[in-house]
Chains A and B, each alone.
Chain A
Amino acid sequence: MKKANILIVDDEAKIVAIFRRFLEIKGFSVITASNAMAAMYVMVKKTPLDLIILDSKMPGMGGDDLVREMRKHGQTVPVILITGSIRSSQAEKAEGMFAHVLFKPVRLEELLAAVNSVVGHKPFRKKKKKAS
């Protein structure tokens, strides 16, 4: 069976490394990006993605804005947002945009459960062509 492809976007290299290592142990194929621009580049290159794990706060464009930008361009890949603050109302509003919102620090088992619920049950979604 084909490994699910996961893109991890976080400006904190150590966190990226932990998630990567853990998810690879659990049998996923992982790509990483340290900011929103790098993540966009990965998507523009039409790398097949099943899931994006995204930090909400990064220098430059944050996770929320990145997803909004992606959706505007027809990119429908599911996203798990990892956030440091509980702006509960905001998170709730944004929840429609995300498959899951997890609060940092996240237990790795909790992350795995969220990942499995997305790539385990949802069918693979093909990227749509750019709107422009």
Chain B
Amino acid sequence: MRKNKRKKDKDRVKRASKRPAGDLREEGLFLSLLDKKEEELLHTEEALIESMRLFRNLFEQSPIGVGIHDPRGALLIVNKAWLEILGLDSFDAMKDHNLFTSFHFNERQKGLLRAGKVIQCDLEYDFGKAGLKTKHEASLHLLYIVSPLFRDKAVIGYMTQVQNATERKKMAEAQRLAQLGRLLADMAHEVNNPLMIISGLAELALVDGVGDEKLKDTLNTIVDQCFFAKDIIQRLLKYSRIGKVEKKSVDVAAAINLVVGILAHHLHLADITIKKHVSDGLPPIVGNEKQLQELFMNILHNSADAMMDGGTITINARREGDFIRIEMIDTGEGMSRKVMERIFEPFFTTKQRGTGLGLAVCHTIVQDHGGQLFYDSRIGEGTKATVLLPVAGAAQGAAGEAL
């Protein structure tokens, strides 16, 4: 409307300026000056609108999630990419989100923000912790950049940029594992030769015949330790190969049965009873058979090792929604909370002769199969290992959604 009025004014001015020069010359000059000013103003307004449009476009079309916060950290507005990245339907879900109360940033980072510094961080965005309902999996790996917005040196708000780095993180992880694999393969070759020589010479000495019992013991220990080292190297090599193996349709029940069959004799000798409740007709999963066998084998070995005086291992396997739930429950000595916290750490072990790689391998195998592995334990009562593996169709569905 204002624009219309101005247009009318302008026309009036134009008409006036068209009047013949003479006594009205001064008026004309004045009006033409006014005309120029008006013209300029119009340009300014158009430029402003244009700039607003450009800004809107940049904001809405940016593939980077952008959010603006007020100086107290409350989230005011987010763009489309933000909602897409976080898998939210609308801004409402995030309206209580605040930079300074959110769990993502530590105190040091919050301090930096208050001091007007830019912070950049990679973070594991846990939707459960954030209390957000989302279309995504439980968590995403996000790249966050938060920069203060200034006017006259005063912070008038903050801008957050969010990028989904989950895929990139996965790729980096795969690359790291590939690199580790190559390094390990080289290392294995270099270390296996000296191990072969040490154990071979000790064995030769034993073959030749050693009269001294003490020396015999020593030589046997040397040989044993060489093969213990071999075991560590082989497990590490397997660890580095997870994710690089072929996956196809696998029958979980068959894998469990096979492993139990292999261990049956050993468990029987250790006075351990197996109670198996595997549902009939469990759907197949997409996975690697050998790695699943390794997974169950390691879990059962740990259970057996925790029951020096015998006991019972109960194995349950059933379908639960889109997952197959496998539980392996022992009546062993159990674990303390402190131990539980570290069980998936490579090289962490409580066993006299453990490599500390068994559960690290298990954890990585389950993760690589898109599943979950968790432990429950009580000292003196026993331990329960739970494996969740997505059934074949569901896994594909989930993967399709993620794309």
Cβ of A28 under 8 Å from chain B: no
Cβ of B200 under 8 Å from chain A: yes
A34 to B206, alpha carbons, bound, how many Å?
26
B227 x A107 contact (CB < 8 A): yes
Neighbouring B residues of A109 by C-beta, 8 Å: 203
Contact of A15 among B197, B230, B234, B241 (CB under 8 A): B197
B165-221 CB contacts (< 8 Å) to partner A:
185, 188-189, 192-193, 195-201, 203-204, 207-208
From known contacts A21-B204, A87-B185, A89-B245, infer whether A104 and B193 are also in contact, taking CB-CB under 8 Å.
yes
B207 x A12 contact (CB < 8 A): no
A108 x B245 contact (CB < 8 A): no
Instruction: Type the 1/0 row for A2-39, where 1 means its CB is closer than 8 Å to any CB of B.
Output: 00000000001011001101100100000000000000
Neighbouring A residues of B290 by C-beta, 8 Å: 88
A19 to B227, alpha carbons, bound, how many Å?
17
A107 to B198, alpha carbons, bound, how many Å?
11
CB distance from A94 to the nearest CB of B (A): 15
Cβ of A105 under 8 Å from chain B: yes
From known contacts A14-B197, A108-B200, infer whether A22 and B188 are also in contact, taking CB-CB under 8 Å.
no
Most B CB within 10 A of own CB, among A22, A57, A85, A89 = A85
A104 x B192 contact (CB < 8 A): yes
Neighbouring B residues of A61 by C-beta, 8 Å: none
From known contacts A57-B189, A84-B189, A85-B188, infer whether A103 and B203 are also in contact, taking CB-CB under 8 Å.
no
Number of interface residues of A (CB under 8 A): 22
Number of A-B contacts (CB under 8 A): 68
From known contacts A86-B238, A88-B241, infer whether A105 and B200 are also in contact, taking CB-CB under 8 Å.
yes
A18 x B192 contact (CB < 8 A): no
B185 x A85 contact (CB < 8 A): yes
A10 to B186, alpha carbons, bound, how many Å?
17
Number of interface residues of B (CB under 8 A): 27
B188 x A25 contact (CB < 8 A): no
Cβ of B237 under 8 Å from chain A: yes
A105 x B196 contact (CB < 8 A): yes
A99 to B238, alpha carbons, bound, how many Å?
24
B188 x A105 contact (CB < 8 A): no
Neighbouring B residues of A106 by C-beta, 8 Å: 196
A18 to B223, alpha carbons, bound, how many Å?
14
From known contacts A15-B193, A15-B196, infer whether A108 and B207 are also in contact, taking CB-CB under 8 Å.
yes
From known contacts A84-B189, A85-B188, A85-B189, infer whether A104 and B234 are also in contact, taking CB-CB under 8 Å.
no
B196 x A86 contact (CB < 8 A): no
A19 to B188, alpha carbons, bound, how many Å?
20
Contact of A18 among B204, B234, B246 (CB under 8 A): B204
A22 to B189, alpha carbons, bound, how many Å?
22
A89 to B199, alpha carbons, bound, how many Å?
27
Contact of B192 among A22, A25, A105, A107 (CB under 8 A): A105
From known contacts A22-B204, A25-B207, A86-B234, infer whether A105 and B195 are also in contact, taking CB-CB under 8 Å.
yes
B189 x A105 contact (CB < 8 A): no
Cβ of B278 under 8 Å from chain A: no
Contact of B197 among A18, A22, A89 (CB under 8 A): A18
A106 to B199, alpha carbons, bound, how many Å?
8
Neighbouring A residues of B198 by C-beta, 8 Å: 105
Neighbouring B residues of A21 by C-beta, 8 Å: 204
A85 to B207, alpha carbons, bound, how many Å?
27
Cβ of B226 under 8 Å from chain A: yes
B267-289 CB contacts (< 8 Å) to partner A:
none
B207 x A18 contact (CB < 8 A): no
Most B CB within 10 A of own CB, among A25, A104, A107, A109 = A104
CB distance from B338 to the nearest CB of A (A): 34
Residues of A at the B interface (CB closer than 8 Å) are 12, 14-15, 18-19, 21-22, 25, 57, 84-89, 103-109
> What are 28 inter-chain pairs, A to B, with CB distance below 8 A?
A12-B196, A14-B200, A18-B196, A18-B197, A18-B200, A18-B204, A22-B200, A22-B203, A22-B204, A25-B208, A85-B185, A85-B189, A86-B188, A86-B238, A88-B290, A103-B230, A104-B193, A104-B230, A105-B192, A105-B195, A105-B198, A105-B226, A106-B196, A107-B199, A107-B203, A108-B200, A108-B203, A108-B207
Residues of B at the A interface (CB closer than 8 Å) are 185, 188-189, 192-193, 195-201, 203-204, 207-208, 223, 226-227, 230, 234, 237-238, 241, 245-246, 290
**What 8 pairs between A and B have smallest CB-CB spacing?**
A18-B200, A84-B189, A105-B196, A104-B192, A84-B192, A105-B195, A85-B185, A108-B203
